Structure 1
C-alpha cells in the first residue's frame, strides 16, 4: 500500500543519509584511537523496477495497466510519475488516475492522498472538480462523514455549476449528514435537492440516480425512527397499542418514500427500496411473533390477544412476500444485479417458509367439524 510504502521510504532515508558509525571490529580503548566511517548520502527509491523509466514510459505503462484492470500496477506507475517527475506534463492526469486506481482497490487512504492534492471544491472544473467528488467518496469510506459533507456542501453551493452537478453534491451531502447522526439536517438537505429537481422544466438535466437516492435515504431516515420504537409488553396493553400504532405509522412513512424512489425509475434504487420495504414488514412480523402478551391480561384475554396477533402476522407475511416478489420481477426486467437483489431472494424464501409453517400450525376453527377417522 502506498501510504505504508512512503512511510518506510522516509524511515530509510532518515536512517541512511549522512549516517555516521564506528566499525564493528574497532573497539574504543585508550590504546586504540577512535575511527569514523562516513558513507555517501543514499536516496532510497523503493521501486527499482520503475526507477529507470521516464515520465512518458511511466504514463504509458500506467494507462495500459489501468485499461487491463491491473489497478495495482497502474497505481505503481502513476504513483511513481507523480512522486518523482513533478514537472511532467502528465502529472495532473497521473495524479487523478493514481487516485482512481487506489479507489478500485479500495485503498481509501491512498486514494484520499492522491485526490486531496488535486481536488478543488470551491473553484475546480474538469478533473479538479471530479477529484473533489472522489475525495468526498474516499472520506465517506474512511468514515470521515463530516469532512465529506463539507466538501460536498461547498460544491452544492456553487452557482457556476450545472444543476446536475449541484444536485448530485447536495444528495450525497445529505447522505453523509445522515451518517453523522444528524437526521433532521439530512432530511432538510435531501428535500431541498428534491425540490430543486421537481422544479426543473427538463428533468433530463439530472441523472435519475440522484433523485431516487434522495427519496431512498429519506425513507431510511423514517426507517431509523421506526427502529427506535421498542414494543415492550411490560408497559401495559394501552401503551403497547400506542407504540405499535406509532411504529406502523413510521413504517408507512418510510414505505411512502421508498415507493417514490421506485417511481423515479432508477434500477439500483428501485431494487434497494423494494428490498427495504419488504424487510420492514418482516421486522414488524418478528416483533409481533416474539413479543409476549401484556402481563395484566388473564389466560383467556392472552389467548384472544395471541389470536389477533396471529391474524396481523399473516397479513404482514403476505405483504412482505408480495413486495419481495414484485421487487425481484422488476430487477429481472431491468437486469439489475446487486446486493439488494440477493438479500431479497433470501428474504422471500424465508417469508414463504414462515407463511407455510403458520398455515400448517393454524388451529381448526371450532365451528368446523374435525375430519372423521377412516373405517378400519
Structure 2
C-alpha cells in the first residue's frame, strides 16, 4: 500500500470576503466608478452546523458514531474541536473525530486529530490512547519509523502498567519489520516475549500481544525462507543444500507460528495456522515446478522425479492437515477474518491437487500369467 498524502484544510477556516458589483470591463475616465460594498461575512466550513453549540455538536457526533455514520460523526466532532477551543468536550471530540476518520480509512485526517491530543512521553488516559492511535495512523500511512518512535517512547515508560508497555513494544517490532529492519524487529519482539514469560501473573497482559509477537517472529523466518531460491541449474549438490536450508527456515517459522497458536488468542491462532499451511503449499509449488538438474541422465532424472513426487505428497498431506485443524479451531472459537477465508480456499485447492496426484499415480500391474493353474 503506497502512502497517501492529502493536503489538510482545517475545517471552518475563517476568512473575510469583500463583495463588489461587476460589469463590463470598459474604463470610463470621465465618469467616476461607483463601488457598492457589503458588510464583511464569515465563511465557515460547514454551514449546516454553524448554528449548533458545543453540546449539540457533541450529542450529534455521539449519536452519529453510534449509528455507524462516521462521516457525519467526523463533521460534528471536527466542528466542535475547531470552533470551541474552551469546551469541556473538546478533548473527547478530538479523539472521537480521529476514530471516525479511522473508520473511514482517512488516515491523514485521523493522524492530525490524534496528533493534537497524543502525548507518548507523559500522557495518560485519552492522551495515551491517542498516542497509540497516532502510531496506528503512521503505520497505515507507511511512516513506519514515525510509528516505531512513538511506540518505543511508550514502551520505555516505567510508570505504565506492564500490559501497556508490552503492547507498545510488540507493535514497535511490527513497525520495524515493516520498515525492513528484520534483525532489529526480532530483537524487539523477543524482548517483549521475555518480559511476558517473566511475569508471575500473565493475566496482566492481553493474550493478543504475546501471540502477535510469536506470529511476527514467524513472519521474519518466513520472509527469510522466501529469499532462498531453488535453482536446478546450480547442480544437484547445491540444490540439495538450498532445499535443506529452505526446509530449516520453514521449520523455524512453523515453530514460532505454533507458539503463537499455543498462547490461545483466536485471531493470531487462525492467522498462524493459515501461514503454516501456506508455507507447505509454497514449498510444494517450488518442488513441482522445479526441473531436474541438467547433470542427471534420463534414468537418474526419472528417479529424481519419483523421489520428488513422494516429498510432494507429504507436503500436500501436511498442508491439508494444518488447514483442516486451523478451520476447526476457527469454528470452535467463532473466529471470522481474512485468514479464515484464505485458509478455506487453500484447503480446497490442496485437496484438489492431492486428488489429481493420486489419480495420476500409476497402479502397479499384476505379474503376467505364464501358464495354466495346476
Please give the range of the TM-score, normalised by the shorter of the 2 chains: over 0.9
> Are 1:18 and 1:40, in contact at CA under 8 Å, matched by a contact in 2?
no
- State the distance in 2 between where 1:144 and 1:63 align: 30
- 1:87 positional shift: 1.0
Partner of 1:243: 242
- 1:261 positional shift: 0.1
TM-score normalized with structure 1 length: 0.92
Q: Which runs of 5+ in 1 are unaligned?
A: 372-376
Q: Does 1:341 align with 2:340?
A: yes
- State the distance in 2 between where 1:207 and 1:262 align: 14
TM-score normalized with structure 2 length: 0.93
Q: Secondary structure at the match of 1:161?
A: coil
Partner of 1:353: 352
- 1:295 positional shift: 1.1
Partner of 1:319: 318
1:343-372, Cα deviation, whole Å (9 max, x unpaired): 000000000000000000012346x4489x
> What is the CA RMSD across the aligned residues, in angstroms?
2.0
- 1:32 positional shift: 4.5
Partner of 2:267: 268
Partner of 1:164: 163
Q: Secondary structure at the match of 1:49?
A: helix
User: Which stretch shows the higher mean deviation, 170-179 or 31-40?
Assistant: 31-40
Q: Does 1:300 align with 2:299?
A: yes
Q: Secondary structure at the match of 1:254?
A: helix
- State the distance in 2 between where 1:164 and 1:238 align: 49
- 1:64 positional shift: 1.3
> Are 2:120 and 2:128, in contact at CA under 8 Å, matched by a contact in 1?
yes
1:245-277, Cα deviation, whole Å (9 max, x unpaired): 000000000000000000000000000000000
Partner of 2:9: 6
Partner of 1:105: 104
- State the distance in 1 between where 2:330 and 2:176 align: 29
- State the distance in 2 between where 1:74 and 1:208 align: 32
- State the distance in 2 between where 1:185 and 1:295 align: 41
User: Which stretch shows the higher mean deviation, 108-117 or 251-260?
Assistant: 108-117
> Are 2:17 and 2:42, in contact at CA under 8 Å, matched by a contact in 1?
no
Kindly tell me: are residues 86 and 369 of structure 1, through their superposed partners in 2, closer, same or farther at Cα, counting changes over 3 Å?
A: farther
- 1:109 positional shift: 1.1
Q: Secondary structure at the match of 2:213?
A: helix
Q: Secondary structure at the match of 2:301?
A: helix
Partner of 1:180: 179
> Are 2:273 and 2:322, in contact at CA under 8 Å, matched by a contact in 1?
yes
> Are 1:18 and 1:39, in contact at CA under 8 Å, matched by a contact in 2?
no
Q: Secondary structure at the match of 2:230?
A: coil
Q: Does 1:139 align with 2:142?
A: no
Partner of 1:374: none
**Which runs of structure 2 are paired with 1:1-376 in the superposition (5 Å)?**
6=9, 13=15, 17-19=16-18, 23-33=22-32, 38-365=37-364, 368-369=366-367
- State the distance in 1 between where 2:286 and 2:129 align: 45
1:132-156, Cα deviation, whole Å (9 max, x unpaired): 0000011111111110000000000
- State the distance in 1 between where 2:168 and 2:354 align: 43
> Are 1:271 and 1:331, in contact at CA under 8 Å, matched by a contact in 2?
yes
- State the distance in 1 between where 2:215 and 2:178 align: 14
> How many pairs are equivalent?
364
Q: Secondary structure at the match of 2:42?
A: coil
